A and B are shown apart, each in its own frame.
Chain A
Amino acid sequence: MRAVHKRYLRELLSSTAGYVLLMILYGVFMRRLDSVPLRVGLALLPLLPILLMIRAMVRVLRDQDELERRIDLEAFAIAAMLTGFGFFTFGLIIQADADWHVSGAAVAIWVMPCLFATFGLAKLFVAWRYRGHE
Chain B
Amino acid sequence: MNNHVRALRGEHAWSQADLAERLDVSRQTVNAIETGKYDPSLPLAFKIAKLFGASIETIFIPGEE
Contacts and interface: CB of A to CB of B under 8 A. Distances in A.
Contact of B26 (A67, A129, A132, A134): A67
Given A66-B29, A66-B44, A68-B29, A132 B37 contact: yes
Interface in B4-20: none
A64 B29 CA distance: 11
A66 B37 contact: no
A133 interface: yes
Contact of B31 (A64, A68, A70, A131): A131
B24 interface: yes
B38 interface: yes
A67 B35 contact: no
Contacts of A127: 28
A127 B60 CA distance: 23
A110 interface: no
B38 A130 contact: yes
Contacts of B25: 65-67
Interface of A: 2, 64-68, 70, 127, 129-134
